[in-house]
Amino acid sequence: PTGSGTVLQASPLLPDLEKALAERYRTVRLHELADPAAALREHADDVVAAVTSARFGVANSLMDALPRLRAIVHFGVGYETTDVTHARARGIDVSNTPDVLTDCVADLAVGALIDVMRALSAGDRYVRDGKWSSAPFPLATRVSGKRIGILGLGRIGRAVARRFEGFGTSIAYCSRTPVADVPYRHVPTARELAAECDALVVTVAGGAATRGLVSAEVLEALGPRGYLVNVARGSVVDEQALVAAVSEGRIAGAALDVFADEPNVPRALLESDRVVLLPHIASATHETRRAMGDLVLDNLHRFMTEGTLLTPVP
């Protein structure tokens, strides 16, 4: 048990979550302070837990400045912005918010693929722009019955696959280790998966291990009739190669919830009708964000009362 130390908030969080943190714990909102260095000097010896989001993480230098820090609690399932090896070496445990966001992220991946293949957003723009009376809307591409490739068959990848079962699709996947209890075909590499599917849905973890996994070569294999959906992390896709492939019609289209340098989106994508562009909203529903906030509070409560975390990262 860690007693009643201070909780450091290292990134902006939902207003309700910030309120709950402030009500329950002595909290320092580091990211809001004009002089964070001075605040650190004042509070460094009291901070036992840090709460943060995947966007910010906790830098190694911040961990090093907090000698009593023993827990980093992430809002979100991705935690690649925190160096877990460094944390462990300092005796700091790390948690995330798995499972509670899986359904909403999978829903969005399916919706985004239907959007880009059936041109829903493009059709909406066409009606709003008053073009309906002057020219017929171009034909789109059928979704049902297609071959879906899932890159990363984890919690979210499986939820995407389950949804597509209802569309009469055939489903294959790529992950480093074949998954035992699924009816889908394992394909050893991303390139082979891309070559044999009509739509490649990216649901791998982010971080150094998957950087650029969807390379120019993988996009080439996806080909001019293939679609890409990315709800994982912008870093997983070679964005320059994607821009080139979209601009030159070497893939049919892409639906992207995540980008290499958010919130900056390459101009060529903004100008293309082949892409659906979303502002990193896959988990952004009232229900899921509340559940994520609750899981952050539950992790923190467990840590402050028992010294352990409820959903530690592997």
Name the site residues for ligand NDP (rule: CB under 6 A): 77-78, 98, 101, 105, 151-157, 174-177, 203-206, 209-210, 213, 231-233, 257-258, 280, 282-283
Looking at the DSSP assignment, which residues form a beta bridge with residue 276?
255
Nearest distance in Å: CB 274, ligand NDP: 20
Nearest distance in Å: CB 284, ligand NDP: 7
Rank residues 117 and 159 by Cβ distance to ligand NDP and give the closer one.
159
- Cα–Cα distances (Å) from 143 to 6, 32, 61, 118, in that order, read 51, 46, 48, 8
In the bound state, the residue with its beta carbon closest to ligand NDP is 154
Rank residues 155 and 185 by Cβ distance to ligand NDP and give the closer one.
155
Residue 196 annotated to the active site: no
Rank residues 78 and 149 by Cβ distance to ligand NDP and give the closer one.
78
Rank residues 48 and 109 by Cβ distance to ligand NDP and give the closer one.
109
Structure tokens that stand for 260 in this block: 């290499």
For the chain, strand residue ranges (E) read: 6-9, 27-29, 47-53, 71-75, 93-95, 147-151, 170-174, 185-186, 199-202, 227-230, 253-256, 275-277
Q: Which residues contact 40 (CB under 8 A, 6 or more apart)?
A: 30, 62, 65, 66
Nearest distance in Å: CB 241, ligand NDP: 17
The Cα–Cα gap between 201 and 233 comes to: 12
| Active-site residue (options: 70, 74, 163, 233) | 233
The Cα–Cα gap between 254 and 257 comes to: 10
Rank residues 146 and 158 by Cβ distance to ligand NDP and give the closer one.
158
Rank residues 98 and 307 by Cβ distance to ligand NDP and give the closer one.
98
Sheet holding 227-230, edge to edge: 185-186, 170-174, 147-151, 199-202, 227-230, 253-256, 275-277
| Active-site residue (options: 43, 280, 290, 302) | 280
Residue 262 annotated to the active site: yes
Beta strand 275-277 with 253-256 is parallel
Query: Whose CA is closest to 197, among 156, 154, 226?
Result: 226
Judge whether 118 and 110 are in contact, CB under 8 Å. Answer: no
Residue 43 annotated to the active site: no
Residue 11 is classified by DSSP as: S
| Active-site residue (options: 42, 165, 262, 287) | 262
Nearest distance in Å: CB 119, ligand NDP: 22
Structure tokens that stand for 251 in this block: 């893939």
Nearest distance in Å: CB 196, ligand NDP: 16
**Count of beta carbons in the 10 Å neighbourhood of residue 260:** 18
Nearest distance in Å: CB 192, ligand NDP: 12
For every residue of 104-144, DSSP letters joined together read HHHHHHHHHHHHHHHTHHHHHHHHHTT-TTTSPPPP----T
Question: Which residues are tagged catalytic?
Answer: 233, 262, 280
